[in-house]
């Protein structure tokens, strides 16, 4: 029992030692989860930007001993073609991360626009758009993406398109709900009475008031998008063999199961990116929405 006050004191000392800059951040951003998410996500962005500087070898060169275990010289080992896995994982960040960002950005734009139009204009626009969204929701995501990717032909661009086909719908649904709630708010009506056109009203009064939650969803969705994208590559419907794409690398690692390192390191890369963005999304949600934040805090107590 007597150790408890001591522990509390030690904890408060640690808190006081936190760098001043960190303490100035809002509370949601000071939790370990948030810091870890931000650090890992940032690290991956840096890796994607500086892969050629960081990678010890050419990711495509087949010049090393085949299936060498991790060790000095090649820390993540080599694959069955004698390529350095560390270099391939680092270069893989240049494929997966920008594509995931692009994918989510496009989903937000397309889904958000369609959902906003459905919610704001209602009537037949709402009916048509939301029935299409329902159609998308009626299929298991990965299967629909597989069907679309298979129909379009295996390539990374087509995989992005396929994921886009399944990903826009959730933004449309959320966007519509948010717009419906804001549309009837009195400042929107005031704007219309002052002669705002519907587009101006959407842009000035509606959009800024729904963008926050949509961005949270987008951050949370980044992990799902990456999983889907690498899932398609894993199934052979995305990136073509020589290119260093994480999903495809995991798939090729499955062929040489005894050499665990071939599949594990690209798998870990996917895992860390997904986790980092999920942490970031949670943090953003708590920072944005005080009601959720309070609920979380009450549960913690």
Partner 1 sequence: MTLLSIADLVVEHRSPGQPPVRAVAGAGLTVAAGEVVGLVGESGCGKSTLARAVCGLHNVAGGSITFEGRPVTPLGLRRRALTGIQMVFQDPYSSLNPRRRAGDQIADGLRVSGDSVTPADLLERVGLPRSFTHRHPHELSGGQRQRVAIARALAARPRLLIGDEPISALDASAQSQVATLMRDLAVDSGAGLLFISHDLSVVRLIADRIAVMYLGKIVEIGDTASVWDAPQHPYTQALLRAIPHPDGLGTLPAELPGDVPDPADPPPGCRFHPRCPHAMDICRVQEPDFGPAACWLHAPSDLTEQSAKV
Of 38-46, 150-158, 198-206, 240-248: span binding partner 1 (CB under 8 A): 198-206
Tell the smallest beta-carbon distance from residue 128 to partner 1 (Å). Answer: 16
- What is the distance between the terminal CA atoms of the chain, rounded to a whole angstrom? 20
Q: Which of residues 117-146 bind partner 1 (CB under 8 A)?
A: 121
Please name which of 220, 233, 238, 205 lies closest in space to residue 274, comparing C-alpha atoms.
220
With contacts defined by CB under 8 A, how many residues of the chain interact with partner 1? 19
Helix (H, G, I), strand (E, B) or coil at 78: strand
Cβ(29)–Cβ(279) below 8 Å? no
Is 198 an interacting residue with respect to partner 1 (CB under 8 A)?
yes
> Which of 162, 161, 174 minimizes the C-alpha distance to 112?
174
- 192 burial type by CB count under 10 A (0-12 exposed, 13-18 middle, 19+ buried): middle
CA 161 → CA 39, 140, 149, 238, distances in Å? 30, 17, 8, 10
The residue range among 16-24, 192-200, 268-276, 287-295 that interacts with partner 1, by the rule CB under 8 A, is 192-200
- In angstroms, give the least distance from the CB of 258 to partner 1: 58
Give the whole-angstrom CA distance, residue 73 versus residue 64.
10
Q: How distant, in Å, are the alpha carbons of 60, 97, 149 from that of 237?
A: 20, 18, 6
Choose one: 133-141, 197-205, 223-231, 241-249; the region binding partner 1 (CB under 8 A). 197-205
Q: How far is the CB of 292 from partner 1 (least distance, A)?
A: 18
Is there binding between residue 195 and partner 1 (CB under 8 A)? yes
- Indicate the residue among 73 and 208 with the shorter CB distance to partner 1: 208
Q: Which is nearer to partner 1, 158 or 201 (CB)?
A: 201
Q: Name the residue nearer to partner 1 (CB basis): 139 or 196.
A: 196
Least separation in angstroms between CB 124 and partner 1: 12
Return the range that interacts with partner 1 (CB under 8 A); candidates 3-11, 17-25, 152-160, 187-195: 187-195
Please tell me the distance from the alpha carbon of residue 28 to that of residue 285, in angstroms, as a whole number: 9
Query: Does 192 sit near partner 1 (CB under 8 A)?
Result: yes
190 counts as binding partner 1 under rule CB under 8 A: yes
- Tokens 């708010």 appear where? 185
- The nearer residue to partner 1, 186 or 258, going by C-beta atoms, is 186
Least separation, in Å, of the C-beta of 209 and partner 1?
Answer: 6
Q: How far apart are CA 229 and CA 223, in angstroms?
A: 10
Q: Out of 194, 257, 299, 300, name the contact with partner 1 by CB under 8 A.
A: 194
Confirm or reject binding of residue 187 to partner 1 (CB under 8 A). yes
**Is 296 in contact with 282 (CB distance < 8 Å)?**
no
Asked whether 58 and 94 are in contact (CB, 8 A), the reply is no
Q: Is 193 in the site for partner 1 (CB under 8 A)?
A: yes
Instruction: Give the integer Cα–Cα distance in Å for 264 and 228.
Output: 18
CB atoms within 10 A of CB 96: 26
- 208 touches partner 1 by CB under 8 A: yes
DSSP code at position 239: S
Q: Which is nearer to partner 1, 10 or 203 (CB)?
A: 203
Minimum gap (Å) between residue 172 Cβ and partner 1: 20
In the complex, which residues of this chain contact partner 1 (CB under 8 A)? 121, 185-198, 204-205, 208-209
């Amino acid at each position: 029992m007597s150790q408890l006050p001591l522990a509390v004191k030690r904890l408060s000392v640690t808190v006081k030692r936190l760098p001043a800059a960190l303490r100035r951040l809002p509370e949601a951003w000071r939790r370990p989860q948030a810091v870890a998410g931000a650090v890992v996500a940032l690290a991956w962005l840096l890796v994607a930007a500086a892969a050629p500087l960081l990678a010890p070898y050419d990711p495509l060169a087949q010049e090393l001993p085949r299936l060498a275990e991790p060790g000095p010289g090649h820390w993540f080992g080599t694959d069955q073609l004698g390529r350095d896995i560390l270099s391939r994982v680092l270069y893989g960040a240049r494929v997966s991360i920008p594509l995931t960002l692009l994918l989510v950005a496009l989903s937000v734009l397309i889904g958000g626009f369609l959902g906003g139009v459905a919610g704001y204009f209602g009537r037949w626009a709402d009916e048509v758009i939301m029935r299409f969204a329902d159609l998308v929701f009626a299929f298991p995501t990965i299967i629909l993406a597989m069907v679309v990717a298979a129909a379009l032909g295996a390539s990374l661009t087509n995989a992005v398109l396929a994921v886009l086909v399944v990903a826009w719908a959730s933004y449309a649904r959320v966007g519509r709900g948010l717009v419906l709630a804001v549309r009837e708010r009195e400042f929107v009506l005031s704007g219309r009475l002052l002669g705002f056109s519907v587009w101006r009203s959407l842009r000035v009064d509606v959009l800024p008031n729904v963008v926050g939650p949509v961005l949270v969803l987008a951050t949370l969705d980044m992990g799902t998008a990456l999983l889907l994208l690498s899932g398609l590559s894993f199934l052979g419907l995305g990136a073509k063999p020589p290119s260093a794409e994480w999903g495809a690398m995991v798939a090729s690692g499955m062929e040489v199961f005894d050499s665990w390192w071939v599949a594990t390191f690209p798998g870990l890369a996917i895992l860390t990116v997904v986790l980092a963005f999920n942490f970031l999304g949670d943090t953003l949600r708590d920072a944005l929405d005080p009601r959720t934040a309070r609920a979380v805090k009450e549960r913690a107590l």
